Chains A and B, each alone.
Chain A
Amino acid sequence: MYMKVSMIIRYVLLGIFNALMFYIVPLAISYESWFLLLIVGIITFLINITYLTNRLKPLKWITPGFIFLLAFVVFPAGFNFYVSFTNWQTGHILTKTQVIERLEDLTFSTEEQRGVEFDLYVMQDSDLDYYFLADLDKNNLLFGKAITSDEFNNVNYANHEPSFKDSNNNIVIPESLYLLSGKEQIANSSQLQDLSLLVDKNTRINLYNISVFGASSGRIFSSQQKYSYDDDTDILYDNTQNVACTLGDRGNFICGGESVDPGWRITVGSENYQRIIDDERFRGPLNTVATWTFQFAFFSVVLAFFVGLFLAVTLNNEKVRFQKVYRSIYIIPYAIPGFISILVFRGLLNPDFGLVNDWLDPIYQLLNIEPIRWFRTEASSKAAVLLVNTWLGFPYMFLIVTGALQSIPTELIEASKVDGATPRQSFWRITFPLLLVSISPLLIGAFAYNFNNFTLIFLLTGGGPPLVGADVSVGYTDILISFTYNLAVSGGRGVQFGLAAAVTTIIFFLVLIISAISFRYSKRLERIYGNI
């Protein structure tokens, strides 16, 4: 039977894909990640049904993109939305299960048990059971079977075994036991770390430091863990104070009136949004910051666009020689990583030692004015931010305008010339509107990008100069996203993911609305000019 090569490739690729997906299944099960399993199942089903049948032909092109859209756009946005309704912040970053695991993991020592360090020998008998020999002091050579905490109730306590030491104070091991070297202890450390030598009802000895260079050492702990948790009643017991802990309403246990760290994350409804509205620390500077964010995004796009447009139109003229050389040069700012350009500009603009002020020095002297104190005044900082962003942004605009110019039919321009239009008229009446039709979606994209241009602000000015007198540390060049960062990540009491997610959700909807309006506007442009 005849088979096309493309078909074989398709099935081979599908086979590889399925193999990978099958490979994830046991992993997902072992991590108990049922959500991942569900997603993997859905994706596998979708892909197979798309490529194995002929009924869903159009989906063959859409499915991969659709999956990536789900995985990298919809899911993060949805997750962010979910986080904005939780108290996910310092002290509450774990889930309740994890918190209980952490708490149950904690050991404690009473005052007299603390600070005792002694040599500990690990032995094994022929049944592969482990035994500990703790050399506390001459009269306290404790020996016994090493057991897990489950066995504490039905095993005898450790005995003093002076017979394990000879007259020269050397450890002597009986024939029936094998003494593990440090290396062997390490090889079995995952088992050994759960074992204890029970000294009496309240005391146990654990292996603490396995030494491959000397003797391993142990420590004394209380035989109880610091906390124990009862699944059925949902009660945590604090064994140091012998109290039962109550559940706090913020997602933590309260033992003896004090809340226990860590807590876990819970959903808190609209609390984070409420805070943004009510909290004076947010509301106060929000006006300044929001205004500047819009100004910044708008002027960044407009300046970069017009510089790019000017250069593109100029270089589009056939009379210009070395067109390609010029074009390559103007692409350079785009090719240099933004990180580097921004830091270089930071140095160039330094008011005391920067080259920019050096160059401008004759002008300052000619006009007899004070040198510009870049980054230290509001106006100069804003100007610097816009200047650098224009430098970073114009090559992109230059590129797309150059491309768009090629697609405008020359007949239109020639026709307008015949009709007696000046070059300026034909540019503003014909070329420019046509350009806008194809470029305005990109301008909207650039606006949305700059609206959240955290890197530039963070690296160039760090938000500064400070807005003196605000309730919170904020600067004149802080945009919404960097302001949020300051408040949610580097302010207050540690990180506040919930709050940050709430602000980003708000920013998301802002950008969404602006984009929707702009797209509607650009559609109108299309209707007017698209028929030309």
Chain B
Amino acid sequence: MNNARLRFGAILLILSMVLVACGGSSEDTVEEPVVEEAPAETLAAPATTSPPPEKLVVWAEEKVAVALDPLVGAYEQAAGVDVEVVIYDFGSIKDDVLTAGPAGEGPDLFISPHDIVGEVATNGVVAPIDLGSIQSDIFDVGIAGFSYGGEVYGFPYATEAIAMYYNSDLVDGVPSTWEEVKAACDAAGTELCVGAPGGGGGGDAYHNIPFVQSDGGYIFKFDGGFDSSDVGLDNAAALASAEYLDSLVKNGTIAATDYGASMTAFQEGRSLFWMTGPWARGDAAAVNYGVGLIPAFDGSAATPFVGVRGMFISAFSEKKVLAQSFILDFFATVDVQAAMYAEDPRLPATKSLFAIVESEDPIAAQFAASAANGIPMPNIPEMGSVWGPVGDAMLIIRDQNYGTNEDTGVTVDSASDAMKLAAQQVRDAIAGG
């Protein structure tokens, strides 16, 4: 018995060692370095020790990743590195960069909208970048969106802002005032007039923000940076804009639709206009469409939120210079940006690409004009406490859900009340940390 057990022990040990050895050797073959031989005649010194090819990991949401992935081949070829573009769920890039980065599992580079800049910079998970000569080619709104605490935290490559789609079979363009919009709808006789997300039970502060800040209202005062202590959701101008929105809802200009409902209504020709962003062009193409600016408020141009998309460098990347080079030498070049645009059309944040796009694509130019009127979404962490309250307040107005609440005893009888409430909630949330 003892003898037998001894034998089993031996077998076990051998097996374990063989397996460990197998694991090791298979890895060796994978990591076999590709030695770059320099031409012999210029070789004064042996070029390098033989390091394995460097690998860069890039996280991006699906559409962006699909556009980027075929392009990186050129860089891999030229630079002798592996670039792995990982399709990442849009909603979890920020959360996972915050958790995976410190755990040593994060990407070297990732693409995200700029509204996370404050949070990731505060947490120290992204590295600042000196864009150097490229900076002058980028629109100010892009740089502003990516600036935090005096540093630029990424390369902004695309902007986006909402504008107004119109059904070009039924109307010639988007009128410049809301009164004319109403008249156009009456003339066309569609079931709905303007389908804008943010109603119909689905709160959405982003799509509704032109109704807040076009005529002097603001979320956070912008003065070289967003000031979270100055909330302007309930200043006189914001209240007046909200009341104006209320009147537009009451006279049927703006329908109580959430995103899905506004989309199907436009696609089925049941609404004349659709207020949303350039990402929806594929969806809008169900009908013949054009794009125009969102009508003005009391003479002031509508100011939507401008989202800026850019590429960040993780602070936990062990290849910072390589990551910087990938951006500055490759990703930021006009050729790559143009190829990205062809696959995933977002308004360019660089002037050089914009010049190309503008002449080729008048619809993109309309979105760009809308973005030019807009302001970047505040990129400070406090923005997290804005979406809920503002979305709720706009929802009350959009769905006309006025009245006295039995549970809290608070009465919201008007659009102004709703805005005051939202402003209070935002201030409390920021004060409460």
* Contacts A210-B321, A353-B264 given; does A11 touch B8 at CB 8 Å: yes
Residues of B within 8 A of A426 (CB): none
- Report, nearest first, the 3 A-B pairs whose CB atoms are least far apart: A469-B410, A375-B201, A473-B388
Residues of A within 8 A of B396 (CB): 466, 468
Of A184-192, A436-444, A505-513, the stretch lying at the interface with chain B is A184-192
**Beta-carbon contact of B119 and A90 below 8 Å:** yes
* Contacts A19-B19, A468-B421, A493-B385 given; does A262 touch B201 at CB 8 Å: no
Other A-B pairs beyond A23-B23, A90-B381, A352-B200, 15, CB < 8 Å: A19-B23, A175-B44, A184-B38, A187-B51, A209-B328, A351-B200, A353-B261, A472-B428, A486-B388, A492-B382, A492-B385, A493-B382, A494-B119, A494-B122, A494-B384
**Size range of the interface on B?**
35 or more
* Contacts A102-B315, A493-B430 given; does A210 touch B325 at CB 8 Å: yes
C-alpha gap A189/B325 in the complex (Å): 10
**Beta-carbon contact of A91 and B122 below 8 Å:** yes
**Beta-carbon contact of B48 and A184 below 8 Å:** yes
C-alpha gap A346/B255 in the complex (Å): 17
**Beta-carbon contact of A495 and B16 below 8 Å:** no
Residue A470 CB within 8 A of the other chain: yes
- A residues 294-340 near B (Cβ < 8 Å) are none
Pick 9 A–B contacts, CB within 8 A, sort by A.
A105-B315, A117-B132, A127-B45, A182-B329, A183-B36, A184-B38, A212-B79, A464-B203, A491-B388
Interface digits, B320-338 against A, CB 8 Å rule (1 contact, 0 not)? 1110110011100100000
Residue B399 CB within 8 A of the other chain: yes
Residue A207 CB within 8 A of the other chain: yes
**Beta-carbon contact of B429 and A193 below 8 Å:** no
* Contacts A184-B38, A189-B54, A281-B428 given; does A469 touch B200 at CB 8 Å: no
Centre residue among B43, B203, B430 by max chain A CB count within 10 A: B203
CB distance from B297 to the nearest CB of A (A): 24
C-alpha gap A464/B200 in the complex (Å): 11
**Beta-carbon contact of B54 and A187 below 8 Å:** yes
Which chain B residue lies CB-closest to A180?
B47
CB distance from B418 to the nearest CB of A (A): 8
Give the secondary structure class of B's interface: helix
**Beta-carbon contact of A469 and B432 below 8 Å:** no
**Beta-carbon contact of A192 and B132 below 8 Å:** no
Residue A73 CB within 8 A of the other chain: no
- A residues 448-475 near B (Cβ < 8 Å) are 461-462, 464-473, 475
Residues of A that sit less than 8 Å from B by CB: 1, 11-12, 14-16, 18-20, 22-23, 31, 52, 90-91, 93-95, 98-99, 102-103, 105, 115, 117, 124-128, 175-184, 186-190, 192-193, 207-214, 216-217, 219, 261-262, 279, 281, 284, 288, 346-347, 350-353, 373-377, 381, 461-462, 464-473, 475, 486, 490-496
**Beta-carbon contact of A467 and B407 below 8 Å:** yes
Residues of B within 8 A of A472 (CB): 425, 428-429
C-alpha gap A281/B202 in the complex (Å): 23
**Beta-carbon contact of B123 and A262 below 8 Å:** yes
Give the secondary structure class of A's interface: loop
Which of B53, B258, B411 contacts A187 (CB under 8 A)? Answer: B53
**Beta-carbon contact of A208 and B130 below 8 Å:** yes
**Beta-carbon contact of A183 and B12 below 8 Å:** no
* Contacts A175-B44, A376-B399 given; does A490 touch B387 at CB 8 Å: yes
Which of A23, A127, A376 contacts B20 (CB under 8 A)? Answer: A23
CB distance from B262 to the nearest CB of A (A): 10
Which chain A residue lies CB-closest to B328?
A209
**Beta-carbon contact of A12 and B430 below 8 Å:** no
Residues of A within 8 A of B425 (CB): 470-473
Centre residue among A105, A475, A490, A494 by max chain B CB count within 10 A: A494
Which chain A residue lies CB-closest to B121?
A261
CB distance from B106 to the nearest CB of A (A): 12
Which chain B residue lies CB-closest to A468?
B405
Residue B409 CB within 8 A of the other chain: yes
Residues of A within 8 A of B49 (CB): 128
C-alpha gap A127/B328 in the complex (Å): 31
**Beta-carbon contact of A219 and B320 below 8 Å:** no
Interface digits, B1-17 against A, CB 8 Å rule (1 contact, 0 not)? 00011001001100111
* Contacts A23-B20, A281-B428 given; does A187 touch B102 at CB 8 Å: no
Interface digits, B117-132 against A, CB 8 Å rule (1 contact, 0 not)? 0010111110100101
CB distance from B223 to the nearest CB of A (A): 19
CB distance from B407 to the nearest CB of A (A): 5
* Contacts A178-B44, A186-B81, A473-B388 given; does A15 touch B433 at CB 8 Å: no
**Beta-carbon contact of B200 and A375 below 8 Å:** yes
CB distance from B207 to the nearest CB of A (A): 15
**Beta-carbon contact of A350 and B104 below 8 Å:** no
Centre residue among B4, B38, B125, B325 by max chain A CB count within 10 A: B325
Interface digits, B298-326 against A, CB 8 Å rule (1 contact, 0 not)? 00000000000000000100111110110
Residues of A within 8 A of B45 (CB): 124-128, 177-178
